[in-house]
A and B are shown apart, each in its own frame.
Chain A
Amino acid sequence: MPPRMLPEPTPETRHFWDGCRDGELRLQRCTACAESYFPPRPFCPKCGSRDVEVYKASGTGVLWSYVINQRPRPDMGTEPYAIAVVKLAEGPTMMTNIVDCPQTPEALQLDMPLKVAFAKQSDEITLPLFAPAGA
């Protein structure tokens, strides 16, 4: 199996990937309008202010939507897997995979509570996957 396709951080996203490596899900919010947002950027997409801060998010959310890919990408193994979107407690949505859960429509119910489960891929990159909150 080829190595998994991994992100290449940029200066604007470095804090997010450093956070994942250190076991923290980091979001940004605007100090002017209090909006939390994702993906990372050095200004608020709602009001344009550059006065933003990085903070440690709760790492919780709900399963917002997904598909189950039946034709796995070569670097993703051989079994069907869900490509999911989690709606974080802080508001933003984020693409992810769901772990510790069968990859079936029966097991993957929309709005089920999820919590972040960090999955180390390399010294630099840890992916923020999500697991059922009760698991």
Chain B
Amino acid sequence: MKPKSVAVVGAAETTKMGKIPDVSVIGLHADAALNAMADAGLKPSDIDGVATAGISPVELAHYLGITPTYADGTSVGGCSFMLHVRHAAAAINAGLATTILITHGESGRSRVGSSGFGRAPSSLMGQFEMPYGVAGPPTMFTIPVLRYLKTYGLKPEDMAPVATIQREWAAKNPRASFKDPLSVDDVMNADMIAWPFTKLMCCLVTDGGGALILTSAERAKDFPQKPVYVLGTGESVETPMVSQMEDFTSSKAFRVSGKKAFETAGIGHADIDHLMIYDAFAHLPLYGLEDLGFCKPGEAAGFIRERNTAPPKDGKGGGRLPLNTNGGGLSYMHSGMYGMYALQESVRQMRGIAPAQVDGAKISVCHGVGGMFAASGTIIFSNDAP
């Protein structure tokens, strides 16, 4: 085995997902953490490192009765958990901790014990974006897309197959929030949220959480579950203000994070069996496929429409690059910081236990976004010891 390898040995989501009005934010963190510890056969006293976003790692550690020698409060939005995995791998190798718990919990729908959207009016976003009527991610994350569509001669309806094909994946997943089939017309005729985005191009708003436990690959083989190895990692940040993105047709944070992950994993695109791209909105898989190098600029919409990322249907085989196989933020669930659910699906696929399992999948890329194209994290997993 390659020295300094790290693996996921515990992974779980909250017991319930969707609408959970009887559990607060920290309660969701704890429920997911206890499920992940049970999955790994561990107790809180076995954990010596904690990482979380949304709440502080201090709150998490104290609530669970953990006395850590490592705490990571990196909070860069929905991809924070990818960064936590990356930092945990480095921390384990540096001897800062041996067994690191990463948690997410969010009462996105029921808003039990959670805070609202908003920035101080003296912050840069408060001065130079908030006065113009932005009202959360649906009116901010979406702003660059008209420039993207015009640059490549595309139309809003070219984003619709992202939603319809992910719904096909969701239909195979008992825990998905929405499973009914969806047509391009359904997507285009849904309520308009922020033109050109209809409601079905926007993610769900749900309650839930998830947790991961990482340790060295040496120790991982003594745990009850099949280890899922971390092959490569990347991260980057660009801007807290979507209006200041360097290029409205491409995310610099995506490009930097993805390139670093592929380089450290030492693999190429042809090696990838399974892909997760954080899809808070329907344009994100397009940017992700292009910025990670799976498609040339402007070609991702066609790639998806031609069913390269789709499950098998009507006797025809599935596409060569299964994408967002849990149904994604558009159909599976999205509590606010979705990155944890993308990581959970990659781990399930690598363990071979996903509801829509990709046969023989050996390498999974899990790519996250934080804020409105503000940040990015990429993790490449494998079920083969590196």
Contacts and interface: CB of A to CB of B under 8 A. Distances in A.
B269 interface: no
Contacts of A70: 191-195
Interface in B86-140: 120-122, 124, 126-135, 139-140
A69 B139 contact: yes
A10 B121 CA distance: 10
B197 to A, nearest CB: 7
A7 B142 CA distance: 23
Interface in A6-27: 6-10, 13, 17
Interface stretch (A28-36, A49-57, A92-100): A92-100
A120 interface: no
Nearest to B145: A65
B146 A5 contact: no
Contact of A67 (B122, B130, B195): B195
B146 A110 contact: yes
A71 B143 CA distance: 15
B135 A71 contact: yes
A110 B195 contact: no
A9 B243 contact: no
Q: Chain B: interface secondary structure?
A: mixed
B297 interface: no
Given A8-B122, A13-B127, A105-B196, A65 B248 contact: yes
A127 B122 contact: no
Given A66-B143, A68-B195, A73 B126 contact: no
Which size class do B's interface residues fall under?
Answer: 20 to 34
Which size class do A's interface residues fall under?
Answer: 35 or more
A72 interface: yes
A9 B194 CA distance: 29
B143 A85 contact: yes
A111 B191 CA distance: 27
Nearest to B199: A70
B241 A67 contact: no
A37 to B, nearest CB: 10
Contacts of A38: 128, 244
In the complex, which of the residues A6, A65, A68, A97 has the most CB atoms of chain B within 10 Å of its own CB atom? A65
Given A66-B143, A69-B194, A10 B122 contact: yes
B144 interface: yes
B143 to A, nearest CB: 6
Contacts of B134: 69, 73, 83, 95
B43 interface: no
Contact of A8 (B127, B144, B150, B197): B127
Nearest to A72: B133
Nearest to A94: B243
B219 interface: no
Nearest to A80: B195
A39 to B, nearest CB: 5
Given A39-B127, A65-B145, A110-B147, A93 B243 contact: yes
A38 B130 CA distance: 16
A76 interface: yes
Given A67-B139, A67-B142, A73 B128 contact: no
13 contacts: A5-B121, A7-B130, A65-B145, A66-B146, A67-B145, A67-B196, A69-B133, A73-B134, A73-B135, A80-B195, A85-B144, A94-B128, A110-B146
Given A83-B133, A96-B132, A127-B131, 15 more contacts: A5-B121, A5-B130, A6-B131, A7-B127, A8-B127, A9-B122, A9-B127, A39-B128, A66-B143, A67-B194, A67-B195, A69-B134, A73-B133, A83-B140, A105-B195
